């Protein structure tokens, strides 16, 4: 009996193990509870072959095309000059715009007149040589006017300049032509010139806070004239007696010029020491004219003889100025300058006339008071 009960218990235990293993396997194969319901199967909407035959053919869509690139039309670069750059147009200097400068120099004039040339005297058949010392000239003023426009961003400025000088002098000398007895004579002489130039001017701020520098370069034209006349007093009435002699020189010159200005400010506001060095080099044509007037005899009119020589020369100008300047506060940087200048015009008459043993020379020296005013608008 006990053996039968044991057999049933073993059989029941084995059956329970089999049932437990079957339940665990089923739970592992089933989806989790929170996965949600499975999606419903949608019926196929693809058209059948018959339906496809009845549909129209699709219209082809062209691919988008990018427009061709067109270069912009060429234009000149534009610069805005209404607002100055504080790094280039310093607030402590004159600003861009129009300006005008005026000089009035009071000068002493010294002309080294060493002209000389032969004049054929058809009355006597001789070749008279006209040469005598030039006369002294009176002190005079030599004004210069400048007008220009200062560009923005420290591009410099463009200016026009014009200067002139005229002087005259007289004296009495005891003189006469060569191979003749000397006699008392009145002497009259003149000198004048006109200078015109077109110049580019630049300001530099690279020398430190106490220095100002300007330089300029450009083109220049000069028209120069000087002469001297010897008039004998109470000459004899004999035929061939020399009554008057003259010598003159006309010069037309074109060339280049440049200048350099340096200024050192002083402890007194607005006051400075300045200096200028200026040079000009020309190519020129000169015309020297020599005349002689002689007596034609009792009751006869005087006779005149003329000879002229043309040549190419290379005159030059060297000018030095030293003085003080004052910049007026709160007056648009207007500046006034006072100083001393020395100026030399070299080779204003230089050639070798034919049939003569000497060379002609001409040189003009100017020195005196330098006055200048600069105004900005």
pLDDT for residue 278 is more than 90: yes
- Residue 94 has, within 13 A of its CA and on its CB side, a CA count of 27
- Residue 33 has, within 13 A of its CA and on its CB side, a CA count of 1
pTM comes to 0.73
Would you say residue 246 lies in a domain? yes
pLDDT for residue 256 is more than 70: yes
More confident residue, 233 or 16: 233
Residue 87, number of CB atoms within 10 A of its CB? 9
What is the per-residue pLDDT across 72-87, written as a single tens digit (0 to 9) for each? 777 776 665 556 666 6
Out of 268-282, 287-301, 319-333, least confident range? 287-301
> In this predicted structure, what is the pLDDT of residue 80?
59
CA 354 from chain centre, in angstroms, equals 43
Domain region containing 276: 99-376
More confident residue, 121 or 350: 121
> In this predicted structure, what is the pLDDT of residue 74?
75
More confident residue, 241 or 201: 201
Would you say residue 48 lies in a domain? no
Would you say residue 34 lies in a domain? no
> In this predicted structure, what is the pLDDT of residue 83?
62
Residue 192, number of CB atoms within 10 A of its CB? 14
Would you say residue 37 lies in a domain? no
Q: What average pLDDT does this structure show over 146-157? A: 91
What is the per-residue pLDDT across 18-44, written as a single tens digit (0 to 9) for each? 555 554 555 544 444 444 554 555 555
- Rounded to 10 degrees, what is the CA torsion of 51, 53, 54, 55? 90
Would you say residue 28 lies in a domain? no
**C-alpha–C-alpha distance, residues 100 and 194, integer Å:** 19
**C-alpha–C-alpha distance, residues 198 and 216, integer Å:** 10
3-class SS of residue 28: helix
CATH number, domain at 164? Answer: 2.40.128
Would you say residue 36 lies in a domain? no
Would you say residue 46 lies in a domain? no
Q: What average pLDDT does this structure show over 292-311? A: 86
> In this predicted structure, what is the pLDDT of residue 96?
87
What proportion of the chain, given as a percentage, has pLDDT over 90? 44
Q: What average pLDDT does this structure show over 287-314? A: 87
In the predicted model, what is the mean pLDDT of the chain? 82
* Helix/strand/coil (H/E/C) assignment for every residue in 31-47: CCHHHCCCCCCCCCCCC
Would you say residue 49 lies in a domain? no
- Residue 216 pLDDT grade (very low, low, confident, very high; cuts 50, 70, 90): very high
The number of domains in the chain is: 1
> In this predicted structure, what is the pLDDT of residue 301?
85
3-class SS of residue 3: helix
3-class SS of residue 25: helix
> In this predicted structure, what is the pLDDT of residue 28?
47
- Measured CA to CA in angstroms, residue 37 lies from 30, 34, 40 at distances of 13, 9, 9
Give the H/E segment covering residue 5: helix 2-29
DSSP, residue by residue, 118-185: EEEETTTTEEEEE--PPPP---EEEEEEEEEEEPSTT--EEEEEEEEEEEEEEEEEEE--TTS--EEE
């Amino acid at each position: 009996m006990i053996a039968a009960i044991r057999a049933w218990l073993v059989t029941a235990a084995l059956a329970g193990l089999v049932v437990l293993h079957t339940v665990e396997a089923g739970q592992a194969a089933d989806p989790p509870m929170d996965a949600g319901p499975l999606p419903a199967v949608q019926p196929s909407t693809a058209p059948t072959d018959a339906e496809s035959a009845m549909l129209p053919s699709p219209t082809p869509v062209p691919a988008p095309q990018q427009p061709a690139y067109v270069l912009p039309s060429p234009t000149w670069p534009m610069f805005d000059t209404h607002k100055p750059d504080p790094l280039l147009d310093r607030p402590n200097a004159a600003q861009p715009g129009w300006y005008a400068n005026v000089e009035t120099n009071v000068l002493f004039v010294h002309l080294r007149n060493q002209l000389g040339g032969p004049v054929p005297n058809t009355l006597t058949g001789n070749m008279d040589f006209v040469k005598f010392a030039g006369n002294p000239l009176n002190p005079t003023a030599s004004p210069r006017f400048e007008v220009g426009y200062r560009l923005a961003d420290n591009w410099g400025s463009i200016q026009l300049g014009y200067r002139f000088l005229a002087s005259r002098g007289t004296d009495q000398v005891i003189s006469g032509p060569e191979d003749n007895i000397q006699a008392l004579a009145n002497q009259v002489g003149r000198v004048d010139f006109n200078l015109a130039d077109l110049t580019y001017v630049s300001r530099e701020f690279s020398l430190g806070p106490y220095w100002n520098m300007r330089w300029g370069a450009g083109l220049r034209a000069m028209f120069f004239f000087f002469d001297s006349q010897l008039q004998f007093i109470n000459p004899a009435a004999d035929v061939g007696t020399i009554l008057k002699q003259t010598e003159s020189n006309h010069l037309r010159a074109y060339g280049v010029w440049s200048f350099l200005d340096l200024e050192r400010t002083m402890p007194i506001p607005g006051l400075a020491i300045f200096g200028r060095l200026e040079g000009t080099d020309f190519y020129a044509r000169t015309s020297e004219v020599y005349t002689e007037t002689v007596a034609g005899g009792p009751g006869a009119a005087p006779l005149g003889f003329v000879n002229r020589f043309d040549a190419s020369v290379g005159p030059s100008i060297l000018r030095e100025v030293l003085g003080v300047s004052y910049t007026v506060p709160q007056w648009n940087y207007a500046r006034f300058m006072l100083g001393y200048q020395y100026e030399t015009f070299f080779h204003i008459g230089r050639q070798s006339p034919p049939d003569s043993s000497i060379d002609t020379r001409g040189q003009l020296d100017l020195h005196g008071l330098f006055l200048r005013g600069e105004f900005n608008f």
